[in-house]
Amino acid sequence: MEPHRTENYQRLSRHYAETGLWVRALEVAENNYMLNPLSVRSIKNLASTFQYTDRIDGAIKMYDLATELGSTGLNYAREMVPMLECNQNAECMLDNLPPDFGPFMEPFQAVYPTPAPSNQVEAQVSIDAAMELLAEVPDLTNWFNHSSCRFSYLTPLFFRVAEFSEENDSYWYWPNVWIADCADVWAAPEFIPFVERQGLVEYWREVGWPEACRPEGDSIACGAAPEK
């Protein structure tokens, strides 16, 4: 049976989000919503895209609309607002963890100490603590690939988690890789070989470049998006 057009649009928007092409992801998600304004799937797809492009108010509104139309899922955007407002304040983040993360409070204090690590040795202690916890709870893969972008001293953790995910076949949520806070990860020397292994560089050369990476001579450069 041919999938409903909402499902096709959702897949396309998700594909662009996974490959770092957020402008296209948002365009498809908005068009999908306009064509299917009463579809919970199209609404939640737009809400997720809003959330990952830092349009939190729009995401909250869309998730609320999905709830009015019968969705029983959490309003993840509203749940994340207090943590996002913490910026790189680990104490604030730990005070505002979603309830599901309560069991990890003690090990998280080793990963996200206060004050933040001030040198590479201290940072390595935090990274090792994260990997020890990840070995026990592989479901934290995407929590750590996300927070390694939010906390600059955890940048090396991103690549440790990626390696763990490949070796243990744990689920890797690609949209986390392309949030605006990942500039330090994008600029790391390991990042270009990482995306090359995934076939993304070849794909971008064919369809266009994300803000995270761009052509530079015969090579590419990744890092903070240029000022507009």
Is it the case that residue 228 has pLDDT exceeding 80? no
The pLDDT mean for the chain works out to 91
Domains in the chain (CATH in brackets) are 5-82 (1.25.40.10), 86-222 (no CATH)
Burial of 189 (0-12, 13-18, 19+ CB in 10 A): exposed
pLDDT for 3 beyond 50: no
State pLDDT tens for residues 55-111. Answer: 999 999 999 999 999 988 777 788 778 877 887 789 998 998 888 888 999 999 999
Per the listing, tokens 């996300």 go with 146
Residue 1, pLDDT above cutoff 50: no
Q: Is the pTM of this model over 0.75?
A: yes
* Per-residue buried b or exposed e for 11-28, using 16+ beta carbons within 10 Å of the residue's own CB: ebbbebbbbbbbebbbeb
10-66 pLDDT per residue, tens: 899 999 999 999 999 999 999 999 988 999 999 999 999 999 998 999 999 999 999
Q: How many CA atoms lie within 13 A of 209 on its CB side?
A: 14
Residue 67's CB is within 10 A of a number of other CB atoms, namely: 16
Local structure of 179: helix, strand or coil: coil
> What residues contact residue 220 under an 8 Å CB cut-off, 6+ apart?
192, 201, 204, 213, 214
Residue 187: what pLDDT? 95
Distance CA 174, CA 130 (A): 19
pLDDT band at 227 (very low <50, low <70, confident <90, very high): low
